[in-house]
Amino acid sequence: MKAQEIYQYIDKIAPFSTQLDYDNAGLLMGSMEMDVERVLVTLDVTPEAVKEAARRKCQLIVSHHPLIFHGLKSVTPDDPTGAVVLELARRGITVISAHTNLDQASGGVSDVLLGRLGITSEGFLEPAGQTAGGKPYGMGAVGVLERAVPPKEFAKSVKTALNARGLRVVLGNRPVKKVAVCGGAGGDLLQKAANWGADAYVTADVKYHEFLEAYQRGITLVDGGHFATEDPAMDTLWEKLNEAFSGCGIEFFRTQKHKEVYFSL
């Protein structure tokens, strides 16, 4: 099987044409003509992930975050990104990254995050439009809990559901029933969550003034961490790839080496 076939499947469920302007999703290393028998699925292309891919004799890595995001002026072993690029090239490993196209896809990053919290998605927090195939896409997701719960209970349930190492939380002034989420850095969508009527908003990489705004609005704001709010989507992508290519003689591995790197004291 060629890497192109896997690229085309990802493009079907999360069209690369929907990626945001600043993004760099797609084929980032290697060739579409690479013969692929083994694939590693990971949130990030880290040195540990590359070593794991090599140990498992993978010809392809599928990641969420692009290894090459900003322009590279040089590729040297002294630079963290350059060192990974050199190692990938040395081992002949191809890389495909599905970033903001997967963020915005139906069933993508935020829908998976909402599902981990036990909530069925009722749509996007910020609809963006329709794909060429007529499927809606957008950022974030919204849904409603079966019963309202106190803010602190909700926050604790988020930590458990995501296996997060730590949370930063503003506790709102009302029970939580309507929930908005955005996997990864979504603090700038707080206003959208408020406009929708969210009692709680779950995202990551929240800035100080966004916490302050949530407090003033009485919204429970939970920063679960970038890794914890996005990595569950890699489990789902791995499952979808396994199902889509079942019986094709190709193995998909979920990384066991790339984990959350920070901890809370």
Task: Answer whether residue 263 shows pLDDT above 90.
Answer: no
Give the span between the Cα atoms of 158 and 45, in whole angstroms: 26
Q: Where are the beta strands (DSSP E) in the chain?
A: 26-29, 38-42, 60-63, 94-97, 126-130, 136-139, 141-149, 168-170, 176-185, 200-204, 220-223, 251-254
Contacts of the segment 15-18: beta carbons below 8 A, 24+ positions apart: 15/101, 15/105, 15/131, 15/132, 15/133, 15/137, 16/98, 16/101, 17/101, 17/131, 17/132, 18/100, 18/101, 18/104, 18/105, 18/128, 18/131, 18/137
Q: What local confidence, expressed as pLDDT, does residue 262 receive?
A: 82
pLDDT-derived band at 71, boundaries 50, 70, 90? confident
pLDDT-derived band at 72, boundaries 50, 70, 90? confident
Indicate the angle between helix axes 151-162 and 109-116, nearest 10 degrees: 110
For the chain, the farthest-separated pair of C-alpha atoms sits apart, in whole angstroms, at 56
- What tens digit of pLDDT does each residue of 18-68 get? 999 999 999 999 999 999 999 999 999 999 999 999 999 999 999 999 999
Task: Specify the 3-state DSSP secondary structure of 41.
Answer: strand
